[in-house]
Amino acid sequence: MLKRLFLIACPVLLSAQSNDSITLFNPDFGTQYDFHILNWDDRVLMEEKMAEEDNFHSSVFPYRTSEVGEYRESRLNHLADTTNTNWFHRKLFYQDFINVVGEDYGISVNPIVNFQFGQDNQSSWGTTYLNIRGAHAKGRIGKNVSFRTTLIEAQGRFPAYQRRLFTGQNNHYSDQRILGLAPGKDFGNFGHDFRMATGEVSYTPSKFFNFSAGHGNHFFGEGYRSMFLSDHTMPYGFFRIETTFWRIKYINLYSLYNNADPAFRGPGGVNPIKYTSSHYLSWNVTNRWNVNLFETLLWSAEAGQSSGFDLNFLNPVIMYRPLEEMRGFSGGNILIGAGSSYRIYKGLKAYGQFAADEFSINAVRAFNEGNWLNMFAWQIGLKYPQAFGITGLYILAEHNAARPFMYSHTGTPTSYTHHGLPLAHPWGASFRETLLHVNYQRKGMVFNLLYSFGPRSVDLGEDVPNNGADPLRNYNQRNGVDNGFFIGENGGFTVHILQARAGYIINAATGMRLEAGITIRRETNVTLPSNAYTPLPANAFFVGLNIPFGNMYTDF
């Protein structure tokens, strides 16, 4: 396949050299794009560079390249030996594989690979692997239109605790959800086969507005997790309007989520669509203090609310509950939230989020009794780019929690989920998590350390009363019980996850790296019936070659 790509690329490159209007191997080409980047390593580097910017909205992620491009493109210039004219040397170590730039257009194409081989001595199959192949293209047409697309084909065999989530074991959902990337199917002995496609077209008519549409993910928040909207779930269709003026950044996000519950599939196995309209307002009150607000409405035809996307919800500023009532249905799932951050010293920043799925004064008064209507989630954290004055060192400490029944509704059509996965925190609801994340990047070396622990409840399916842990379930399936619901209780365990990864970046343009990593996972204080739930520890390691194309979360 690489040989075919090379044979295709050579004529393109040779023809480009004969055109005086085209510049080849332009290291600044990436700064001419204006679309969204969704990669954790990039985010760490951007926050380090932008930590003391007066008006940077770091909670609106992914960032647009026009906002951070010059920093991103220069992040690994020490690897770019521009004095070497050998084509293979340039392509291997610091340039895009194909990069053709004209006055009014440009395109860059790179391969995607993630080849891993490993072992998990806690899984009956022992050997694990990941085999991802694909391509990523990015480009522009004129000065205002940019585009990107990613295609991958993959197979893999994973540690047992990951397979449990991918195959929906221990809950009523059975479709495969592989690495939060794509639906999958069985492959070989305990393996999975899957493929994914994402893309985006971005139009920036002025410094105030950006319009983008495509298939991808979004993230709102300052932390490693988000209690509003995270990027660990499968890509989805979206239309996004980004408005920036003064100290304000305002996002309108319209999304199409997938309800893959088999009970609601149409003829031919077609999954019905869930529609959302979301608002996110970020206001830099001062150079140090940011306040942000979040609101989303999710509705579905299967819930009897509408036959499709209701154009009334395109209104960019209206509050949703009054509009619901005016439209004659009130069964939509509305989530509201508020967040804030404060830069204490240089890059050191404190941040937090609070989200509510339902609100009742009587329920708040019965908070100590564990009233089920107290559907709240919250986050507090500290992050420190260039920690202690050390370039490349990023430290984040965070606490996240979600009460029982948070993000759930009257069933899968209006649950705050996409293809069976939570749209906010990957643990769902009824949990407390404390985590420490350390990232160090220096001269091509990348080190990541994550330790996460906390109590979480587990739902064992439709045959038992709903304990509020699974957002997919109908919150009315409580057997008439209104009180006694507390985080991490009514059946669950305490999880401990330690993940460490080290790599060396070979190519600055593509991020290609050699890497190795370990995962150690334990479940303790298990209070679930042994005949219904089996704890799944992990002692896993891997080595591999990786060209990153996005985030893959395995810390659940």
Model confidence at 44, pLDDT cuts 50, 70, 90, reads confident
pLDDT at 305: 54
Residues 6 or more apart in contact with residue 549 via CB below 8 angstroms:
39, 112, 134, 136, 150, 152
Model confidence at 442, pLDDT cuts 50, 70, 90, reads confident
Model confidence at 30, pLDDT cuts 50, 70, 90, reads very low
Rounded percentage of the chain residues whose pLDDT exceeds 90 = 55
When pLDDT is averaged across residues 124-138 and rounded to a whole number, the result is 94
Out of 50-64, 161-175, 386-400, pick the least confident. 161-175
CA distances from 71 to 30, 265, 287, 508 (A): 11, 46, 20, 13
Beta strands in 75-168 (DSSP E): 98-101, 105-120, 127-141, 145-157
Round to whole Å and give the CA distance between 521 and 526. Answer: 14
Amino acid at 434: T
pLDDT at 347: 86
pLDDT at 12: 32
pLDDT at 21: 28
CA distances from 403 to 149, 230, 460 (A): 38, 18, 18
pLDDT at 306: 56
pLDDT at 308: 66
| pTM of the full structure | 0.90
pLDDT at 311: 67
pLDDT at 405: 96
Q: Which domains does the chain have, with CATH numbers?
A: 78-100+111-132+150-546 (2.40.160)
pLDDT at 316: 72
Q: Pull the structure tokens for residue 382.
A: 């500290």
- CB-CB contact of 116 with 517 (8 Å): no
